Structure 1
């Protein structure tokens, strides 16, 4: 299963404000089961880098709120909470990005 490393970062290469890793692979697995109702979450590249900007973070945040009701995400509340917090801060501030890196 793929490990996802999620970062809240600024413009600079070393400008990392928050980071978490889902080494269990459970988030990556759950994301593969999503359909077109979740266009941003379902397009996270589990083996590459996906980046969301300030405008995209708003949509990502709405999708996270909706996906919480899906059964495969029931055990991922902590990961979703951290991802939502990063997306919320990204949406509120300029020059921030949510970056998701798969292995």
Structure 2
């Protein structure tokens, strides 16, 4: 399942499961980071700040091996 926000496709963010954990590895960040940046650009201030914080976490995942970005559902 992929969702869109406005006209921006979000194939990976659209797969985040709100009820279970969703894990992204370093190679998936090549798609995920541009999705987050597009989402940040078209968002209200509070939502943009949350996306900015997630982007900071992606930078940590990219810097070190064996790191993952995990969204915890529920």
Q: By the TM > 0.5 criterion, same fold?
A: yes
Q: How many residues align?
A: 68
Distance, in Å, in 2 between the alignment partners of 1:59 and 1:88 is 14
Which 5+ residue runs of structure 2 have no aligned equivalent? none
Give the deviation of 1:68 after TM superposition. 1.7
1:39 matches 2:11: yes
Which 5+ residue runs of structure 1 have no aligned equivalent? 1-33
Partner residue, 2:62: 91
Deviation above 3 Å: which 4+ runs of structure 1?
Answer: none
Distance, in Å, in 1 between the alignment partners of 2:37 and 2:49 is 13
TM-score in terms of structure 1 length = 0.59
Distance, in Å, in 1 between the alignment partners of 2:17 and 2:58 is 17
Please tell me whether the aligned partners of residues 26 and 67 of structure 2 are also in contact (alpha carbons under 8 angstroms).
yes
Distance, in Å, in 2 between the alignment partners of 1:92 and 1:57 is 12
Greater strand fraction, Structure 1 or Structure 2: 1
SS of the residue aligned with 1:55?
coil
Give the deviation of 1:52 after TM superposition. 0.4
Distance, in Å, in 2 between the alignment partners of 1:60 and 1:100 is 13
TM-score in terms of structure 2 length = 0.79
Bigger Rg, which one = 1
| Structure 1 residues 2-13: aligned runs within 5 Å | none
Distance, in Å, in 1 between the alignment partners of 2:48 and 2:61 is 20
